[in-house]
Structure 1
Amino acid sequence: MSDTIAVPALGDALPDIPLTDGSGGTTRMIDAIGEHGAVVFFMRASTCPVCRAHVRELQRMSDAGLLRGARAVIVTPGGGEEAASVARRTTLRVFASGEHHRDVGLGRFLTLQHSGTFVVDGSGRVLAQRTSALPTASFSRREILRALG
């Protein structure tokens, strides 16, 4: 795993990493995003209670129509089993990144897996991002809504 944190800057493309769903199917990040963009939340772990709370908030935002046509995409480290575990608790699109969290600047640093939220347009260009080693600081409802403006 990477010991450096190089998060895509505003205007950069979110890396088109491979993703696995809860049934073992695979896709690419750009296909998960869709043509109207997405709010992509990278969990610290599929079992992280703070990350699960962020998933519930993103679910509420999506259900209320606050995402303005953007998809909500959840990405957990690990494989299909981890994706399935999270997917059982939400109707949002859930995938696992394997070891590819590091490819979006969310590697392990000082043994802590970073988590983060990216708002991207339909081409995958980053409109807003928030990342942190502490999951409480990796999600902001206000920033998401402002980016989707």
Structure 2
Amino acid sequence: MLRTGSPAPELELADTEGRTVRLAGFRGEAVLLYFMRSTSCPVCRRHVRDLAEHPPGDVRVLVVVPDDRATAAAWRAKHRIPFPVLTGRGSAPHEVIGLSRALFGTVQRSGSVLVDAEGVVRHAHGATLPTGSYDKEGIATAVAALHAPA
């Protein structure tokens, strides 16, 4: 898993329209990436709803799913997800940040990464069970620290 204070990895993703989205393209603004276990995971969907109802300040939220683009697009439309929903492009984004599959490769791990405006990881959290993957308090603390005087 990524460590706080480390540079954010070079992630190249695709949105539900097929456009390329690069994490480096968000320099100048803070970004929270929420990595879902899958679009069919009810716990992960509840976490995304919470992010929509209680957005983390002025931070851009991106939802990353391991599903294919068509599945991601249908899920986003059906549930009216207000954030970009992204899939891998050429690599598995979950793997790139250290959320590799657990339990002999059968369970996709989920979690979140907060990247500041300069491209530095300010919060990284992951879990095998989706009930532990959304560290709402940790995210809120890290977002507040983005705006704290130096």
Range of TM-score over shorter length? 0.7 to 0.9
User: Do residues 29 (structure 1) and 23 (structure 2) align?
Assistant: yes
Alignment-derived partner of residue 7 in structure 2? 13
Moved more, 77-86 or 42-51: 77-86
Structure showing greater Rg: 2
Query: What is the distance in 1 between the residues matched to 2:129 and 2:120?
Result: 25
Map of 1:104 onto structure 2: 97
1:94 aligns with 2:88: no
Q: Which aligned runs of 4 or more in structure 1 are off by greater than 6 angstroms?
A: none
- Identical-pair percentage: 32
Deviation at 1:97, TM superposition (A): 2.0
Partner of 1:139 in structure 2?
134
User: Using the alignment, how far apart are the partners of 1:94 and 1:15 within structure 2?
Assistant: 18
TM-score normalised by the chain length of structure 2: 0.84
Q: CA offsets per residue over residues 88-140 of structure 1, 9 Å max, x none?
A: 22111211125231111011122211101111101321111210010110112
Contact 1:119/1:126 (<8 A) preserved: yes
Q: Secondary structure at the match of 2:142?
A: helix
Tell me how far apart the structure 1 counterparts of residues 75 and 141 of structure 2 sit (CA, whole Å).
27
Per-residue CA deviation, residues 11-33 of structure 1 (Å, 9 max, x unaligned), is 112212211111111121222x4
Q: Is the 8 A contact 1:42 1:75 kept in 2?
A: yes
| TM-score, normalising length: structure 1 | 0.85
Say what the alpha-carbon RMSD is for the aligned residues. 1.5
Partner residue in 2 for 1:4 = none
Question: What is the rounded CA distance, in whole Å, between the counterparts of 1:83 and 1:29 in structure 2?
Answer: 19
Give 5+ residue unaligned stretches, structure 2.
145-150
SS in structure 2 of the partner of residue 112 of structure 1: coil
* Residue correspondences, number: 138
Say which SS state the counterpart of residue 4 (structure 2) adopts. Answer: coil
